[in-house]
């Protein structure tokens, strides 16, 4: 058995879980009128209510003891100190330096990285302002109106999610931002349709600058531009790049003054704070981007200094551990009641599942406990009319995060009040449900015969005890969004520390990439199909038999 399972803290939690079985949220709320005050906290513009989880003060004390026992504080300090905590890639994990708004030095191998970070930020400001003001024009002197970010994974999801989330914070010089990620040519073709090459700027965003999808899209975008403007030299004014691989960017033909560097101590899924955020700076303005950084930094300071039992990311992480490891709940829903946050679940999918979807611990052993959950979600209220049926009455219990802003960005009639009402009502329905007896009373009061009411009541009953957290933002601003993203990053970090896994590598994406290379050769007719398994070979043969192959 692993150290984790054998630890005193884990055993105490297992015993506590057994003793707690049968305890309901109705009972917990009934017994403690101060439950909301006890199980909630504020950090800046974010308020977390976690009272609708099956926890008591003892549960939280035991979970915090587990975090302490697993060295969460030590791991946290090691990250901020630039230690090489990404051990399988032998790298520090220092995305917090990118949003460090203090004058604290952030060392990597004894050298402060802050001067380099500030220098890139300042170059981003100069460039984004030049594009936005029309000083940096296209090749034929026309103003840039559209920016196309070409990247995938962390080089796409972060800037895309932020640009969508903060559309309403763009000033009048708003440029249209587009994001092309999929190697499926539909994505590029449909994006370029209607764009004017004279007015389009491409940002090739790739940490490695070798990613197949990004390089393929970038080459096709380049060809489109050159064909449209009939001049190879146009590339210089219509392309910028963001990468740690500066050599490869120049090989692609991107002018050095349009290359924005970041560093290998920034993980792909943690990179939106780096120059990968260039599309954000151009679309929304550098001031907005810096406000986002400031929000992330505020959450870093909270995470770094607050005691574990009053530390928002730690609490979210521990609630996750409680559900995943002690209630066997392997799925987690993120439900933003905010249309602007419609890409947040997709962003968090990469953040959480690429970070903690692991089964080998830091000592190279297979774990004997569950790790990261299957994370998914959609904005409310849409989800209510789709998958909430399962959340309320299905056989799986899915812990959920509800995210909503107290104050909406627009003032259109009662829309925002209705949104808030729905959000709160859903958490209430999930937690407290409706008993069969209550359903019976309701049906009878509607004039139903006793027999009909008895028959229908089980369908109308809701079991309740479906846990959720509510994250209430004052308003959705660049600052509060920055804090929200950093909150989730640190949550994932804490869980990884407790599970003793490296949350910063992603070897699980490699095999598919390798195999795709081989299958591609077969589809192109450059390699025999014999080496493929029978299923893949059969499918490849079918595809190759189609006209045009």
Would you say 272 or 472 has its CB closer to ligand F6P?
272
Would you say 151 or 313 has its CB closer to ligand F6P?
151
Binds ligand F6P (CB under 6 A): choice among 181, 214, 426, 427: 214
* Shortest spacing between CB 205 and ligand F6P, in angstroms: 7
Nearest to 52 by CA among 433, 307, 310: 433
* Shortest spacing between CB 239 and ligand F6P, in angstroms: 16
Position 59 contacts ligand F6P (CB under 6 A): no
Per-position DSSP letters for 30-88, written without gaps between them:
HH-TTHHHHTEEEETTEEEE-TTSS--HHHHHHHHHHHHHTTHHHHHHHHHTT---BTT
Whether 354 is catalytic: yes
* Shortest spacing between CB 268 and ligand F6P, in angstroms: 3
Per-position DSSP letters for 359-402, written without gaps between them:
-B-TTSPBPSS--S-EEE---TTGGGGTTHHHHHHSSS---EEE
Nearest to 430 by CA among 335, 321, 312: 335
Number of residues that bind ligand F6P (CB under 6 A): 14
Question: H helices then E strands: how many in the chain?
Answer: 25, 13
Would you say 172 or 512 has its CB closer to ligand F6P?
512
Contacts with ligand F6P, 169-208, as mask; x by CB under 6 A? -------------------------------------xxx
Would you say 86 or 206 has its CB closer to ligand F6P?
206
Please identify which residue in the block is written with the tokens 């990250």: 79
Would you say 2 or 208 has its CB closer to ligand F6P?
208
Q: Determine phi and psi for 255, rounding to 5 degrees.
A: -60, 135
* Shortest spacing between CB 444 and ligand F6P, in angstroms: 57
Binds ligand F6P (CB under 6 A): choice among 211, 311, 427, 470: 211
* Shortest spacing between CB 509 and ligand F6P, in angstroms: 4
Query: Is there a contact between 128 and 285 (Cβ–Cβ < 8 Å)?
Result: yes
Segment 507-546, which members bind ligand F6P (CB under 6 A)? 509
- Distance separating alpha carbons of residues 275 and 331, to the nearest angstrom: 33
Catalytic residue among 354, 358, 416, 490: 354
- Distance separating alpha carbons of residues 75 and 494, to the nearest angstrom: 8
| Binding window for ligand F6P (CB under 6 A); candidates: 51-59, 151-159, 284-292, 420-428 | 151-159
Binds ligand F6P (CB under 6 A): choice among 152, 235, 259, 315: 152
Query: Is there a contact between 101 and 118 (Cβ–Cβ < 8 Å)?
Result: no
Whether 385 is catalytic: yes
Binds ligand F6P (CB under 6 A): choice among 43, 149, 155, 469: 155
Strand order in the sheet with 400-405: 40-43, 46-49, 468-473, 400-405, 331-336, 374-376
Would you say 211 or 311 has its CB closer to ligand F6P?
211
* Shortest spacing between CB 209 and ligand F6P, in angstroms: 7
* Shortest spacing between CB 346 and ligand F6P, in angstroms: 13
Contacts with ligand F6P, 319-358, as mask; x by CB under 6 A? -----------------------------------x----
- Distance separating alpha carbons of residues 127 and 129, to the nearest angstrom: 5
144 secondary structure, DSSP code: P
Query: Is there a contact between 487 and 352 (Cβ–Cβ < 8 Å)?
Result: no
Binds ligand F6P (CB under 6 A): choice among 153, 285, 336, 372: 153
* Shortest spacing between CB 401 and ligand F6P, in angstroms: 23
Please identify which residue in the block is written with the tokens 């559309």: 167
Would you say 155 or 311 has its CB closer to ligand F6P?
155
| Binding window for ligand F6P (CB under 6 A); candidates: 2-10, 149-157, 187-195, 383-391 | 149-157
Position 478 contacts ligand F6P (CB under 6 A): no
Position 426 contacts ligand F6P (CB under 6 A): no
Binds ligand F6P (CB under 6 A): choice among 54, 82, 154, 159: 154
End-to-end CA distance of the chain: give it in Å, rounded.
53
Segment 262-281, which members bind ligand F6P (CB under 6 A)? 268-269
Would you say 153 or 467 has its CB closer to ligand F6P?
153
**Core vs surface per residue 74-95: b (16+ CB within 10 A) or e:** ebbebbbebbebbeeeebbbbb
- Provide the 10 A C-beta neighbour count for residue 340: 20
- Distance separating alpha carbons of residues 205 and 208, to the nearest angstrom: 9
Catalytic residue among 366, 385, 410, 510: 385
- Distance separating alpha carbons of residues 329 and 322, to the nearest angstrom: 9
Whether 238 is catalytic: no
- Distance separating alpha carbons of residues 279 and 118, to the nearest angstrom: 18
Catalytic residue among 87, 396, 415, 513: 513
| Binding window for ligand F6P (CB under 6 A); candidates: 146-154, 286-294, 326-334, 444-452 | 146-154
Binding site for ligand F6P (CB under 6 A): 152-155, 206-208, 211, 214, 268-269, 354, 506, 509
What positions carry a catalytic annotation? 354, 385, 513
């Amino acid at each position: 058995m692993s150290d984790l399972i054998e630890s005193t803290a884990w055993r105490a939690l297992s015993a506590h879980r057994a003793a707690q079985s049968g305890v309901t949220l109705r009972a917990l709320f009934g017994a403690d009128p101060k439950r909301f005050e006890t199980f909630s906290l504020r950090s800046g513009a974010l308020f977390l209510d976690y009272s609708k989880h099956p926890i008591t003060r003892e549960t939280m004390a035991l979970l915090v003891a587990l975090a302490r026992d697993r060295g969460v504080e030590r791991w946290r300090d090691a990250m901020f100190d630039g230690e090489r905590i990404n051990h399988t890639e032998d790298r520090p994990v220092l995305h917090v330096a990118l949003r460090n708004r203090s004058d604290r030095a952030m060392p990597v191998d004894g050298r402060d990285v802050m001067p380099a970070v500030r220098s890139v930020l300042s170059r981003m400001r100069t460039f984004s302002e030049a594009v936005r003001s029309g000083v940096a024009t296209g090749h034929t002197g026309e103003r840039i109106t559209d920016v196309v970010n070409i990247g995938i994974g962390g080089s796409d999801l972060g800037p895309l999610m932020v640009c969508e989330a903060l559309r309403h914070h763009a000033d009048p010089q708003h440029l249209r931002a587009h994001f092309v990620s999929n190697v499926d040519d539909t994505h590029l073709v449909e994006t370029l349709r209607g764009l004017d090459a004279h007015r389009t700027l491409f940002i090739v965003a790739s940490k490695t600058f070798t990613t197949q999808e990004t390089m393929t899209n970038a080459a096709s975008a380049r060809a489109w531009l050159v064909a449209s403007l009939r001049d190879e030299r146009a590339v210089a004014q219509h392309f910028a790049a963001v990468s740690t691989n500066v050599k490869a960017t120049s090989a692609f033909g991107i002018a050095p003054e349009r290359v924005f560097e970041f560093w290998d101590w920034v993980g792909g899924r943690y990179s939106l704070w780096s120059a990968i955020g260039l599309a954000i700076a151009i679309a929304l303005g550098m001031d907005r981007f810096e406000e986002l950084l400031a929000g992330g930094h505020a959450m870093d300071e909270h995470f770094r200094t607050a005691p574990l039992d009053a530390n928002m990311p730690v609490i979210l992480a521990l609630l996750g551990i409680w559900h995943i490891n002690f209630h066997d709940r392997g799925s987690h829903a993120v439900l933003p009641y905010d249309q602007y946050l419609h890409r947040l679940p997709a962003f968090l999918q990469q953040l959480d599942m690429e970070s903690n979807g692991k089964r080998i611990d830091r000592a190279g052993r297979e774990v004997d406990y569950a790790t990261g959950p299957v994370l998914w979600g959609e904005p409310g209220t849409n989800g209510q009319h789709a998958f909430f049926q399962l959340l309320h009455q299905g056989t799986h219990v899915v812990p959920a995060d509800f995210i909503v802003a107290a104050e909406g960005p627009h003032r259109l009639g009662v829309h925002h009040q209705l949104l808030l009402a729905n959000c709160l009502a859903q958490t209430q329905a999930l937690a407290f449900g409706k008993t069969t007896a209550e359903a019976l009373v309701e049906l009878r009061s509607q004039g139903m015969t006793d027999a009909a009411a008895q028959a229908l009541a089980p369908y109308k009953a809701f079991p309740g005890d479906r846990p959720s957290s509510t994250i209430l933002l004052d308003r959705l601003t660049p600052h509060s969004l920055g804090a929200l993203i950093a909150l989730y990053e640190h949550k994932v970090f804490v869980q990884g520390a407790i599970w003793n896994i490296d949350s910063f590598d992603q070897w699980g994406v490699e095999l598919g990439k390798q195999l795709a290379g081989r299958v591609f050769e077969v589809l192109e007719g450059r390699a025999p199909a014999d080496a493929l398994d029978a299923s893949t070979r059969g499918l490849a043969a079918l595809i190759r038999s189609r006209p045009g192959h």
